[in-house]
Structure 1
Amino acid sequence: MYANKHYENDIKYSMQLNRFACRLLGIWPSIETESSNFENLRRILLILVCYFLLACELIPTILYVIIVEKRTRVKLKLISSVMFTTLAVLKYSSLVFTQSKVRNCLMRVRDDWQNVANAKARESMIDRARTARRLLLLCSLFMYTSGLYFRTVVPLSKGKSVNNRNITIRFLPCPSYFIFFDGQISPAYEIMFFIQFLSGFIKYTITVAICSLAALFAMHLCAQLEILMSLINDFINEPEEKNLAKRLAATVKYHTEMRNFFQLVQKTLEHTSLLEVMGCTMIVCLLGHDILTEWEDQNVIAMFSYLVLLTSIGFNIFIFCFIGEQLSEEGEKLSLTVCTLAWYRLPNAKARALILIIAMSNIPTKLKAGKFFDLSIKTFGDVVKTAVTYLNLIRKVME
């Protein structure tokens, strides 16, 4: 191990976008120094504001579905919006209550950047950090593009309508029922439009923050697995017998720390990944039904908005499954590496020491969603099939 002279720039490069997204939500923990009272107060206020904005959208929409809307077909459309907001509240709460675990993960990432095995290991970590940044940017592009379109273009394109009572109706991004005031009168309408716009921005930022943290930690783990394989190969190919004990100790220490970090990442992401995959599966199903109904009604603008939302949410599920697949593949490569080692080159005592390394390497490195199922490309295929199955079931029921 040697000190990385460029670790500050490397840490900034790997965490910069994650930090920006999480700070918007008030959930980015301080990893360098203890937080000041002002910083803690700022985070608390941001968290309260986020909850307030989410509640300002969720509660009126639920009241509208229960009290005002009587058409089953329209209710079904609104349920997907209610589910997405509820899911955002749950995911945000999970992030708020796991800040200490996120902080521990970030501190471990920082320490790994400060002390890398060699220059080749640093290049491997940079390459994986670049992949994590690209995934974050793609997720942000899909979420914010679809969200802003749904929050602005769709309601404004509807213009105004006159109901049976000869009352002019102006459309909000999410239909709402307000008990204490009339949401159609200025400036109440403009204020609620702006609040719902901000609420949507918060929901999309929550999704981006979760995907960014998952990508950062999983890709960092992939880099650590690559470095571990390099250390094991260097240990086997060490020509000087006197250096074997030192290399073996360093390899075992690195392997143990990597496994501990993997367990910490698993505990940090297990609930949010479960909410993301299972919740988005149901939302994808409902959005598919909305697209088909808008197609039947020949409403091109609404159909396009639902299609964009469907694509963005489906891509979020794919990101989780993709990073899980990448981590699983690196774990399999490690297992293959240690099982095909030229152990016969080592003295007997050192060769016997490899038994525990081989046993540890054969433990699968698979991210699990809530300890129920693995995150993999196969899981993504199962999610798509499940969503299509439920979509067909809903259409049969609605007929």
Structure 2
Amino acid sequence: MTILNSGGTRTEFSLSLIFNMNVNKHSGYKDFVWAIELNRLCLEVVGLWPKINGAAKNTFVSDLRMGTIFFIVTFLSIIPLLCSLVRVWGDMILIVDNLQVILPLLVVSLKLIIIRWKRTAIALLVKMMVEDWMELKMDAERDVMIKRAQTARLIAYYFYDIDKSPQFEIALVIQAATMFLGGMTYTSVDAFLGLLILHICGQLENFKHRLTNLISSKDFDSALCNNVRTHLRIIRFANNIEDVFALLMLGLVFYFGIVFCLFGFLFVTVITGNEIGHMSLTRVCFLVIGIFTLLAHTFLYCGAGEIIAEQCEAVYSAICNLEWYKLEPRKKKYLILLMIRANEPFRITAGKIFPLTMTTFCSLLKTSAGYISFLLAKRKIEL
């Protein structure tokens, strides 16, 4: 099916096949296609976008793309780098240089596996997003979702001798392909998570505005019933996000901690030791950029969890601030149940062990700094 998005360009999409309704003329559906267009394109390139219509041919092509990328990243890059790691074992500087390449590639492989494994849950999330966009009734609610969507759109060594030809050319091509495909996989998954988080934040904000008008509704029971359904739907959406990304977040937390320790150790060693005279300016800049990139990435993950928690707190405050004393005793009891459930905020967790918040970010930095000190002390003893 070909439809027009908000930018006026033509876009192919096939979600309508599952809903059995003529949605291609629905303005909300067009807004949805515009909102997810960039995420869909990137995930389709790496074969991770769920095929909602269940076409076997399309699924096979996506699996083939994903399998090819996984083969290139794992067998043509990670395994040779692991062999090189064994060769340089004992030299801490070379080990750090090797690990700062291996670990991001391992994260790419982890993302490929988990997102492919959770494809059914992701398809359900996309379906719920379509329904949310099509259910928007007021312009104010649409403006909230458009604002959130705009924000979402804005987000080596080898086991053989590569000094000879054609090994050098082959290694160069493999490395370039790995960097491109790995970078696209890494970024597209993160961007899709950002889209989901901003979508649920928009839904929570609209839900909060609906709650403020609950007491003044002419039909209180009907309005309360609709709000409860909306709240349960948002809860299911949040639970699906948690189911898909919890294990991935746990791996990323360990990855950020380890890589930040390695970058920090290497940076301090270069600054305080004699190695700075033997290192090029490009490599020093790479270390600095790597440290700031890791900090920014970790901050965004934890900040996203903090934003969801704040939106949940805003919903709970909106319920508490309702003029409930104007209601009948029976209706007051209904509000108590809604208040109790809203008091439990949604959280993005790492492996369902601990939540990703700014407190977690600060704790991670503190722990990483401690391990950097340990590595520096160990190197000093070795020297």
Question: Which of 181, 185, 190 is the equivalent residue of 1:206?
Answer: 185
1:12 aligns with 2:39: no
Distance 1:97 1:125 in 2: 29
Query: 1:218, CA displacement in angstroms?
Result: 1.1
Give the residue type in structure 1 aligned to 2:358. Answer: I
Distance 1:73 1:245 in 2: 67
Given that 1:214 and 1:320 are in contact with CA atoms closer than 8 Å, whether structure 2 keeps it comes out as no
Given that 1:321 and 1:380 are in contact with CA atoms closer than 8 Å, whether structure 2 keeps it comes out as yes
Given that 1:210 and 1:272 are in contact with CA atoms closer than 8 Å, whether structure 2 keeps it comes out as no
Q: How does 1:1-399 map to 2 (within 5 A)?
A: 5-31=26-52, 33-37=53-57, 39-54=58-73, 55-67=75-87, 71-134=91-154, 136=155, 174-178=156-160, 182-238=161-217, 240=218, 243-295=219-271, 296=273, 297-298=275-276, 299=279, 300-399=281-380
The alignment-based identity, stated in percent, is 22
How far does the alpha carbon of each residue in 1:308-366 deviate from its partner, in whole angstroms, 9 at most, with x for none?
12222222211111111110001011111111210122233222211211111111222
Distance 2:358 2:201 in 1: 16
Distance 1:131 1:270 in 2: 23
Distance 1:126 1:84 in 2: 33
Given that 1:128 and 1:220 are in contact with CA atoms closer than 8 Å, whether structure 2 keeps it comes out as yes
SS in structure 2 of the partner of residue 26 of structure 1:
coil
Query: 1:292, CA displacement in angstroms?
Result: 2.9
How far does the alpha carbon of each residue in 1:60-88 deviate from its partner, in whole angstroms, 9 at most, with x for none?
11111213666332123212222222222
Given that 1:339 and 1:358 are in contact with CA atoms closer than 8 Å, whether structure 2 keeps it comes out as yes
Query: 1:306, CA displacement in angstroms?
Result: 2.0
Pair 80,49 (structure 1): closer, same or farther in 2 beyond 3 Å: same
Query: 1:281, CA displacement in angstroms?
Result: 1.3
Given that 2:66 and 2:112 are in contact with CA atoms closer than 8 Å, whether structure 1 keeps it comes out as no
Distance 2:42 2:288 in 1: 25
Give the residue type in structure 2 aligned to 1:245. Answer: D
Distance 1:226 1:277 in 2: 28
Distance 2:37 2:184 in 1: 15
Query: 1:29, CA displacement in angstroms?
Result: 0.7
Distance 1:72 1:336 in 2: 52
Given that 1:290 and 1:303 are in contact with CA atoms closer than 8 Å, whether structure 2 keeps it comes out as no
Give the residue type in structure 2 aligned to 1:263. Answer: N
SS in structure 2 of the partner of residue 235 of structure 1:
coil
Given that 1:117 and 1:227 are in contact with CA atoms closer than 8 Å, whether structure 2 keeps it comes out as no
Given that 1:63 and 1:177 are in contact with CA atoms closer than 8 Å, whether structure 2 keeps it comes out as yes
Given that 1:273 and 1:370 are in contact with CA atoms closer than 8 Å, whether structure 2 keeps it comes out as yes
Distance 1:230 1:322 in 2: 23
Given that 1:64 and 1:175 are in contact with CA atoms closer than 8 Å, whether structure 2 keeps it comes out as yes
SS in structure 1 of the partner of residue 213 of structure 2:
helix
| Gap runs ≥5 in structure 1 | 137-173
* Bigger relative contact order, structure 1 or 2 (CA pairs below 8 A, ≥6 apart): 1
Query: 1:124, CA displacement in angstroms?
Result: 1.0
How far does the alpha carbon of each residue in 1:101-138 deviate from its partner, in whole angstroms, 9 at most, with x for none?
1111111111100111422111111111122222x2xx
Q: Which moved more, 1:328-337 or 1:90-99?
A: 90-99
Give the residue type in structure 2 aligned to 1:331. Answer: C
Q: Please, what TM-score do these two structures have when normalized by structure 2?
A: 0.87
SS in structure 2 of the partner of residue 236 of structure 1:
coil
Distance 2:291 2:114 in 1: 24
Pair 115,212 (structure 1): closer, same or farther in 2 beyond 3 Å: same
Q: Please, what TM-score do these two structures have when normalized by structure 1?
A: 0.83
Could you say which residue in structure 2 is the equivalent of 1:151? none
Q: Which moved more, 1:326-335 or 1:360-369?
A: 360-369
